[in-house]
Structure formats: C-alpha cells, structure tokens
Chains A and B, each alone.
Chain A
C-alpha cells in the first residue's frame, strides 16, 4: 500500500480529494459481517461516487486526525456522520456493527479539463457526469491516487438526532485482547480438578 501521491495528480499543485467509507454491517448477529448483513458505502463528496465497482452514497461525514506510530499501539479515529434522516441510527440499532471491518479510502485526483459549448474549464465542472441519469462522479477512468487511509474495526457509536458519532480502531486492538478467563468458587473444587483433567478449549469443554 503506497501512500505516495504521484505527480499525476499534482499538476500545478492543485488537486481534488474525496474519501470513500465502507462499513460492514452484520444483520443476523452471527459475527460474520457482510453476508446476511450488508456493506454500507458512503462518500464525503457531494454526489454519488462510482469507482467502477461500488457506488458510494453522498453523506455529510467527517473524521478527525489519525496518528500512526511505529509501536503499533492501537489507534482510533472518530467519525461523525450526518444522521438527520434517522436512517443510520436505525441501521446501527438493527445490526451488530461493533468489531466489524471498516475502511476509509482516500482518492486524490485532478478533475479533468472539460469543454462545455465553446468554453474550456481547466478543472472540469461536471467531472464527466452524464446528464441523462442521476449525478454520479465516475472516478474509474480518472488518473488518480487511491490509498487506504484507515483500515480497522468499528468500536463504538453514539447517536443523536443530528449526527452519529463512531469510533474506529485499528486491527491491532486485537493484540491487546486478553484470553478468556474463568474463575471458580471453592465449592466447585471437584469440578476444577475435573476441569484440569479435561481438555480446555477457549473456556468451554472441547466437543
């Protein structure tokens, strides 16, 4: 994963930037994201964005500063998503989305030049949006730099009527997770011995 911004998109030191967000929601609570659930695709661009594979829905979505260091300590990032139509909080409450994968992708590009009538616009107005269907920015054919800004899991969320706040944590959070522990009462002593003689498998008897 290269984070270099190539010269392709740096002409005249002007570039456009948008972000693509993917959240995997688990709707049947089986801990596996994506199959019975769905993947939500959002973008902070003004109109729908199509990268050739997925279509991203425009949403008012922002995130705060991400820091990285060599110690691989788990890091988190806070996002704020507009929730005014209430669709997101109902989605969040109907799904188990904690521990599910999420991804923020940064796309850097220069809007291509465009000619409308007899006028040439240096940085394009439509960005290749067709006039027959609903406005979609198709970035699949653009010269662009795409890199994963953040990949991790969804940690917590809280919602108000106006916005939904979420915390995303890097995958390295799993390194900090302790093994499942088990405690015993004294009157369980016999069962402890039985247990010690038995094969323990993640806190339960091995089938």
Chain B
C-alpha cells in the first residue's frame, strides 16, 4: 500500500518551523596523539521538525487531527521543501518519509487553536520492497457513545474556558540511526485537559459528577473538542483524585485530565 502524501494537510497555515538536522552520524575516537578518527555508521540525514500553528481555525485543527489519527503509528510522505528535506533529490523520488513524534493543541473561549506537531524522518520508504517486508498501519477507532451525562455539564453549568488536546500513543517504534524504521500500532487514545473557573453552585455540580461516577471508575461520553456535545466517545477521568482551589473571591478553579477508553 502506497504511503499517503500529507504535505498539503500538514504544512498549510503553520506559523513557523523548527528544524534540527543530523548528518553522517557516528562517533569520533581520539587517540593519544590527539589525532581523531571518525567512524560513520549512519549516512542518511535525520531531521526532526517541529511545526507550530498559531490561532488556526477549528476546521484546520480538525483536519490536522485527522492526519495524526490516520498515521500515528505509520509513516507518510511530506515534502517540506528542498531547503529542509532534499532526500528526494539524491536518494529516491519518494524518500521524503516522516513519522509523527507527538501532537498537542490547545484552545480557549476564542475557539482558535494553537499547537505543535513534531515530526521525525523515516527510513521506511514508499517502495513495495519495504511495504512487503514491514507492513505498517494505524487504526484509531474509539468507542462512540450517546451518553450525555458529562456533555450536559459541559454545555450547561460547567463550561470550560480552556482545553488542551494530546494523545496517549502506545505504539512502538524502532529506529536506525536517528531515523524511524518501523512503527507498530498499539492503540491510540485521546487525552483532554479541561480547565474551569466556576461559581460555587456550578462547581458543586461538577464535583458531584466526579463523586457520583466514582472518579476513574465510570465511563461517560466525552465530546471530541472537550466542550459542546458533538462526537462523543467513551472516556474516564485519568486520575483517581480531583483537585481544585477555592479562591478568596469565592470562585473555584480546577482542571481534570480525561482520557478515552477503548
């Protein structure tokens, strides 16, 4: 199966790139005479690239999320331009292969999305010789639910002011030199960190939800975006405690880590 080219979906609307490149990785041995011998073991360049996004729209964020969820344990093609990655010029036409290292985003009441994606180059190329040897796949399939117990709170009295998005990726990767060679899908789970500032009566509703559902024990429907009620999947509280602050002005601040269950 040919690798997917994700260039246009990932690089559109980014605010900046941070790149680090390694070339001819190996080791240096210094002799007593001061002479240095260099032994190169990896000749392929290895690149780590952080793509940053600042205040992009919800649809852009959702598009990026789709890219990650479709390739979290497998490699894909990304043409970052010859100035950054020019392996396609000297190695092979489709050798601009990359893998996700991590993915994190955040939004607040403005509903604009800010985040980073980290990518690493791969030596798993887009050729049948590789595909037939090491098949890769990413199959993210969370359990959907119609449970509205938590989304009723999120849309009612406990509207969050900020949500952080990340993932718990259990997939395992192997590498040669600084490049990713193979990835195996070992499941992916969404993780939300939801932040609130609430009046006492509203906060007590939230706390009561945590108490009634037994903390980490109970599954509930969590909307994809961490607020609203769209696209709910089964999730639980990540921690077996709920911490909050009561401020002198009588407001309560708290946050909770919520993670999908498969």
Contact = CB atoms under 8 A, between A and B. Distances in A.
Interface of A: 13-18, 44-48, 57-60, 82, 84-87, 111, 114, 116, 123-127, 129-135, 161-162
22 contacts: A13-B36, A13-B37, A14-B37, A14-B38, A15-B38, A16-B41, A16-B43, A46-B43, A46-B179, A47-B123, A58-B123, A58-B181, A59-B181, A84-B173, A85-B135, A86-B184, A126-B91, A129-B92, A130-B92, A133-B92, A134-B129, A161-B172
B92 A17 contact: no
Given A17-B41, A58-B123, A84-B174, 18 more contacts: A15-B37, A15-B40, A16-B40, A16-B43, A47-B123, A58-B176, A59-B176, A82-B174, A84-B182, A85-B134, A87-B133, A87-B134, A114-B90, A126-B90, A134-B128, A134-B130, A135-B91, A135-B92
A98 B91 CA distance: 38
A134 B2 CA distance: 13
Contacts of A48: 129
B92 A13 contact: no
Interface residues of B, number: 38
B95 interface: yes
Interface of B: 24, 26, 35-44, 89-93, 95, 123, 125, 127-130, 133-135, 172-177, 179, 181-184
Nearest to B41: A17
Given A46-B177, A47-B123, A134 B92 contact: yes
B176 A135 contact: no
Contacts of A162: 172, 174
Main secondary structure of the interface of A (DSSP, over half): loop
Contacts of A15: 37-40
